[in-house]
């Protein structure tokens, strides 16, 4: 069984378009995250939600809007895509306290042309 | 400001040898330091963590050492196997109101030669 799943795995789109990435976890965790990994493998947190509430919001352009319809899902919507948005986006989940084990999804490779 | 960095971008070792991956950090306010492994085409995977008041922690074939005096962290992998080939990240852990925030370093590519 897949613990953290993301769709789509690959996303190729034109500049200016709007796109969404979906994430689901079946681990029963309360906390979910979005990370961005650039071409140099640098991994940076974007958002964190705990029980559907936004907890961490790093300095991310407001073109990026996360949405958590329930504890098991955290989607990422991106408006007016730019070339610099090209990256691999990872969703992750964890329990909020005590554990540093975050379970990452397989990633979504976004390419903006 | 915060920064978590790695000394070497690529490390090549022979199968069966021990590997040592190093990490330097500048912010000593973190409570934990964590190592993650990322295989090609996959998401990062937790390996081991160490609390900042400890200097050593052992897991299965892995040992993490923390030297707070020089702000240095290392991951030792015993008897390195081909399956250990991956990018290894050290991360700084910060407890927040609703979750644990990880600040990742730049990563070291470990290549295991047969």
Q: A103 to chain B: nearest residue by CA? A: B45
- Classify A83 as helix, strand or coil: helix
Residue with tokens 């559907």: A52
Q: Give the pLDDT of chain A (113 residues) as one tens digit per residue.
A: 679 999 999 999 999 999 999 999 999 998 999 999 998 889 999 998 888 888 888 889 999 999 999 999 999 999 999 999 999 999 999 986 667 889 999 999 999 99
Contacts of B104 in chain A (CB under 8 A): 42-44
Structure tokens at A22: 């979906």
Task: Check CB contact of A74 with chain B, cutoff 8 Å.
Answer: no
> Mutate which of A49, A100, A104, A106 to disrupt the B interface (most B C-beta within 10 Å)?
A100
C-alpha distances in angstroms, B33 versus A44, B3, B81, B94, B111? Answer: 16, 12, 24, 9, 23
Q: Determine whether the interchain pair A56/B93 forms a contact, defined as Cβ–Cβ distance below 8 Å.
A: no
Task: Check CB contact of B38 with chain A, cutoff 8 Å.
Answer: yes
Q: Is residue A93 within 8 Å of residue A4, measured between CB atoms?
A: yes
> Mutate which of B43, B49, B96, B103 to disrupt the A interface (most A C-beta within 10 Å)?
B43
Tens digits of per-residue pLDDT, B51-103?
A: 999 999 999 999 999 999 999 999 999 999 999 999 999 999 987 765 688 99
Task: Check CB contact of A55 with chain B, cutoff 8 Å.
Answer: yes
> Mutate which of A2, A43, A59 to disrupt the B interface (most B C-beta within 10 Å)?
A43
Contacts of B108 in chain A (CB under 8 A): none
Measured in angstroms, the CA of B45 and the nearest CA of chain A are apart by 7
For chain A, state the CA radius of gyration.
Answer: 13
Nearest 5°: the CA angle A109, A97, B75 is 65
For B40-96, where are the E strands, in sequence order? Answer: 45-51, 56-58, 62-67, 72-77, 86-95
**Given this model, what pLDDT does residue B106 score?**
86
Q: Is residue B11 within 8 Å of residue B19, measured between CB atoms?
A: yes
**Given this model, what pLDDT does residue A109 score?**
98
Residue with tokens 């991106």: A78
Which residues have CB under 8 Å from B12's CB, separation 6+?
A: B110, B111, B112, B113
Q: Is residue A80 within 8 Å of residue A63, measured between CB atoms?
A: yes
Contacts of A29 in chain B (CB under 8 A): none
């Amino acid at each position: 069984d897949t613990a953290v799943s993301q769709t789509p795995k690959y996303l190729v789109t034109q500049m200016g378009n709007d796109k969404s990435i979906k994430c689901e976890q079946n681990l029963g965790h309360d906390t979910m995250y979005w990370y961005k990994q650039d071409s140099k493998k640098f991994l940076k947190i974007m958002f964190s939600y705990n029980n559907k509430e936004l907890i961490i919001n790093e300095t991310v352009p407001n073109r990026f809007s996360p949405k958590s319809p329930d504890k098991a899902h955290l989607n990422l919507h991106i408006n007016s895509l730019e070339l610099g948005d090209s990256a691999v986006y990872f969703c992750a989940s964890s329990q909020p306290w005590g554990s540093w084990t975050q379970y990452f999804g397989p990633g979504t490779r976004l390419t903006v042309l | 400001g915060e920064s978590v960095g790695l000394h070497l971008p690529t490390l090549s070792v022979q199968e069966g040898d021990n590997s040592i991956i190093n990490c330097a950090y500048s912010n000593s306010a973190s409570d934990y330091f964590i190592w993650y492994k990322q295989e090609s085409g996959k998401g990062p995977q937790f390996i081991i963590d160490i609390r900042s008041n400890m200097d050593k922690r052992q897991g299965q074939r892995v040992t993490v050492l923390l030297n707070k005096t020089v702000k240095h962290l290392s991951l030792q992998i015993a008897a390195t196997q081909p399956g250990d080939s991956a990018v290894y990240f050290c991360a700084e852990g910060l407890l927040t109101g609703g979750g644990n925030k990880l600040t990742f370093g730049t990563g070291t590519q470990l290549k295991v030669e047969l």
